[in-house]
A = this chain, B = another copy of it.
Amino acid sequence: MPGPTLILPRYVVPVRPRGQVLEDYGVLIAGSRIEAVLPEREARTAINDGPVVELPDHVLMPGLINMHTHSPMTLLRGYADDLDLKHWLHDHIWPVEARHADAEFVADGTRLAVAEMIRSGTTCFNDNYFFPNEMAGVARDAGMRARIGLPLLDQATRWAGDFDEYLDKGLAVVKEFAGEALIDFALAPHAPYSVSDSGLEHIAKVSASRGLRVHLHCLETRFDIEHSLHAHGVGPLERLERHGLLNAHLIAVHMTQLDERDIDRLAQSGTHVVHCPQSNLKLASGICPAPALLKAGVNVSVGTDGAASNNNLDLLEEARFAALLAKGASEDATALDALQAFDMMTINGAIALGMEEHIGSIEVGKQADLCAMNLAAPQTQPVHNLFSQIVYAASSAQFTDVWVAGKRVMMAGELETLDEAALLANADEWRVRLRRPAKQREVVL
């Protein structure tokens, strides 16, 4: 275990207590944990002649938590745009995935995604894609914290042929990575419309018996309701409830089609909601009523969605969209403020993951998952209000240093655990590779 390190930023935003800004404080980390948060002088005494990271222009905050993404889809960034969800999926994304989304694609795309997320201050991501073993391996090797979804659906893909195989292969991956400090897993059924009733029941049982979260696309568009009413005679939320899935283990993503009764139901069941405003706008899916959910007591966090629908993994930008869209959509400029947006990209994600004892805020004993932003840039001066500056004005390019479980994965703007030049060259190879077969022997996408 490495000895203690002192980080000395200009400001610390611990997130808990809410709204607190500490000026000229130090954060002492030892091993994977936060050992102390002290005024500068005391902190310097405590570290004695140990290592000090001086960040005189920076704000130190908890690492951001990206609550919904499909990491490997970075390789499909910009592959098909300006289309609605149905055509985008059926005519472009699914066909190219069917041809190319193998283990190598998943590993390479995840590596690119992890680089992008670390650069933009993210220290933990909640993912859902095929080949979860590849994703888990890449995240572990890069020193990134991840909750990897085990994909579950009825349709065959390159990863598995039917629901039972998805589940068996997924649980084998859980076993393979048992004991890894940074990696754990969730059950990740694709969506209510792509999983049968018996599948849902099975998932509810496994979730309860193994204490696994359920990470699910839900009510992304009106289609979800229409399909459920047609096929099952009830809406998706009622169907999930029937099968024992509407509870505090459920992380329901998108949720753009909600009425007041749905919101009550989510609040009472303790279901967690993940808001992906950019993806929902770009695909014209609808707008998640984040202010009403928060008011009702629902835990709402933010996710970027995959890079093919966003088109980046910049969680700060997502929090900004969440705040501004909430104000515009509800015609109330006070609907969702900078402090709430801050919670949504940090502690609320930790709560949804069931990890609020370990991550999401800078508190003694928690994991040292931290990111530092350099405020010495025109767009973040003067600092009248630190929360406003970060949520409404800063660029994620201002993150310079990132720690995960006490390990510095970005130092002064350079990635420490990934070879960025190699990643970018590899991405360019995929650009060529993903295009070529379509021209030569298949329908042009």
Residue ranges of A at the interface with B (Cβ–Cβ < 8 Å): 74-79, 81-85, 88, 112-113, 115-116, 119-120, 278, 280-284, 286-287, 307, 310-314, 317, 321, 323-325, 327-328, 330-335, 337-338, 376-385, 388-389, 392-398, 420, 423-424, 427-428, 430-431, 434-435
Contacts A389-B78, A392-B310 known; A382 to B428 CB distance under 8 Å? yes
Residues of B within 8 A of A280 (CB): 328
Give the distance in Å from the alpha carbon of A278 to the alpha carbon of B423 in the complex. Answer: 34
- Write 21 A-B pairs (CB below 8 A) sorted by A numbering: A77-B382, A77-B384, A77-B388, A78-B388, A78-B389, A78-B392, A78-B393, A79-B384, A81-B385, A82-B338, A83-B334, A84-B333, A113-B378, A281-B324, A282-B323, A282-B324, A282-B392, A307-B393, A325-B325, A382-B430, A395-B397
Does B284 lie within 8 Å of A333, measured CB to CB? yes
Does A328 lie within 8 Å of B284, measured CB to CB? yes
Does A378 lie within 8 Å of B311, measured CB to CB? no
Give the distance in Å from the alpha carbon of A334 to the alpha carbon of B80 in the complex. Answer: 12
Among B77, B281, B283, point to the contact of A381 (Cβ < 8 A).
B77
Does A81 lie within 8 Å of B337, measured CB to CB? yes
Does B381 lie within 8 Å of A428, measured CB to CB? yes
Chain B nearest CB from A431 CB (Å) reads: 3
Does A424 lie within 8 Å of B381, measured CB to CB? yes
Residues of B within 8 A of A398 (CB): 397
- Told that A77-B382, A78-B388, A78-B392 touch, could you supply 4 new A-B pairs with CB distance under 8 A? A79-B385, A284-B332, A312-B395, A397-B398
Residues of B within 8 A of A282 (CB): 323-324, 327-328, 333, 392
Give the distance in Å from the alpha carbon of A115 to the alpha carbon of B120 in the complex. Answer: 23
Does A85 lie within 8 Å of B333, measured CB to CB? yes
| Most interface-central of A311, A317, A331, A380 (chain B CB within 10 A) | A311
| Most interface-central of A83, A119, A327, A381 (chain B CB within 10 A) | A381
Residues of B within 8 A of A321 (CB): 321, 324
Chain B nearest CB from A134 CB (Å) reads: 18
Give the distance in Å from the alpha carbon of A67 to the alpha carbon of B333 in the complex. Answer: 24
Copies of this chain: 2
Give the distance in Å from the alpha carbon of A280 to the alpha carbon of B325 in the complex. Answer: 10
Chain B nearest CB from A199 CB (Å) reads: 30
Contacts A84-B334, A281-B327, A333-B84 known; A312 to B393 CB distance under 8 Å? yes
Contacts A76-B384, A282-B324, A397-B397 known; A81 to B428 CB distance under 8 Å? no
Residues of B within 8 A of A333 (CB): 82-85, 88, 282-284
Nearest B residue to A81 via CB reads B388
Residues of B within 8 A of A378 (CB): 74, 112-113, 115-116, 119, 420, 423-424, 427
Give the distance in Å from the alpha carbon of A394 to the alpha carbon of B434 in the complex. Answer: 21
Give the distance in Å from the alpha carbon of A18 to the alpha carbon of B63 in the complex. Answer: 41
Does A314 lie within 8 Å of B395, measured CB to CB? yes
Residues of B within 8 A of A113 (CB): 378
Contacts A327-B284, A393-B77 known; A334 to B427 CB distance under 8 Å? no
Nearest B residue to A287 via CB reads B328
Residues of B within 8 A of A281 (CB): 324-325, 327-328
Does A381 lie within 8 Å of B311, measured CB to CB? no
| Most interface-central of A88, A278, A393, A397 (chain B CB within 10 A) | A393
Give the distance in Å from the alpha carbon of A420 to the alpha carbon of B376 in the complex. Answer: 9
Nearest B residue to A88 via CB reads B333
Does A78 lie within 8 Å of B384, measured CB to CB? yes
Residues of B within 8 A of A317 (CB): 317
Residues of B within 8 A of A330 (CB): 284
Give the distance in Å from the alpha carbon of A328 to the alpha carbon of B112 in the complex. Answer: 28
Residues of B within 8 A of A328 (CB): 280-282, 284, 287, 325
Q: Give the 9 A-B CB pairs with smallest separation, nearest first.
A: A397-B397, A382-B431, A281-B328, A78-B388, A116-B378, A381-B427, A311-B393, A281-B324, A284-B333
Give the distance in Å from the alpha carbon of A377 to the alpha carbon of B368 in the complex. Answer: 26
Chain B nearest CB from A56 CB (Å) reads: 12
